[in-house]
Amino acid sequence: MAVRTFIEAIRTTLAQEMRRDPSIIVLGEDVGLKGGVFLATDGLQAEFGEARVIDTPLTESMIVGVSIGAAINGLRPVAEIQFADFIFPAFNQIQSQAARMRYRTNNAVGLPMVIRTPYGGGVHGALYHSQSVEAFFTHIPGIKVVVPSTPLDARGLLRSAIRDPDPVLFLEHKKLYRSVRGEVPDTDYVTPLGSAAITRAGTQVTVIAYGLMAHHALEAAARVAEEGISVEVIDLRTLRPLDTETVLNSVRKTGKCLIAYEDNRFGGYGAEIAALVAEEVFDYLDAPVTRIAGPDVPGVPYSHVLEDWFMVNPDKIAAGIRKLAAY
């Protein structure tokens, strides 16, 4: 057991898996000699060589396209898209090829590949280095979407993603890379995909979050606990497949549900959770399902003041909890 940052958990897990399985390759912009823009792959090329840790051109469609071809031919590629904001040139490859390969071949061909990419705001990255893209990809059947929030889950979920027989989009909130530390086992630890975690037990309000928002939800829950409000916090960890059982059981218990997510509110991933709760456990609800999310503007502003206005934070989540508790 060792205490590691989020980014260290990613890096060491990649190294462990590459030592275990020689079919794993890493590819992306600057992942080799530089070790990645956030140093997530630092040292991997020195250990595993240029044939397994491959610097690519700045062409996202090629990175994903090559990964698909490599997976078809027996390798297990882990592709890095340098920022989630730049993943859209590869959207066709992900949606039309990677996600549909097993279906279109009548279960004959799977694609064991992972696409890692940092997402999210709060780091003064402005419009083109702050986007949350999860809603686009959770809409696509055939690809799993994973969002760890702790070093422990970064290790366990990444290991499960690499070993999965189908494509996985692995979203890493960049603000967590060096701000979060935790104990990580050096054993062959895995976190099953599709399993949410109840990170705080409570009885009055259910708060559902993921990524950075999972930390903000815990902080907000601790604040309102001092006011006598008991909050249950769920860290989804995997957005698709969704752990519907954990979500619905919690809402049945508390009768009130708040979803916190960083993306634009309209059409965001939280809308799917809200619809699920309304359809499946409506009779248990004592208040409207509530979403706390980013405003519907085209991007996260560069100005610190406006960035803070855009971002969901513990104050906004706590305010939503108080409103629900008083309903």
Catalytic site residues? 129
Classify strands 257-264 and 290-294 as parallel, antiparallel or unpaired.
parallel
* Region label for 35, one of left (φ > 0), alpha (ψ between -120 and 50) or beta (otherwise): left
Name residue, tokens 């494509």.
167
Q: Write phi, then psi, for 26 (nearest 5 degrees).
A: -120, 135
Cβ-based neighbour number of residue 128 at 10 Å: 11
Task: Residue 311: name the closest of 176, 117, 83, 120 by CA.
Answer: 120
Whole-Å CA distances, 8 to 16, 95, 116, 243: 12, 30, 15, 27
Q: For residue 84, what is the DSSP state? A: G
259 - beta bridge partners?
208, 291
CA max distance for the chain: 60
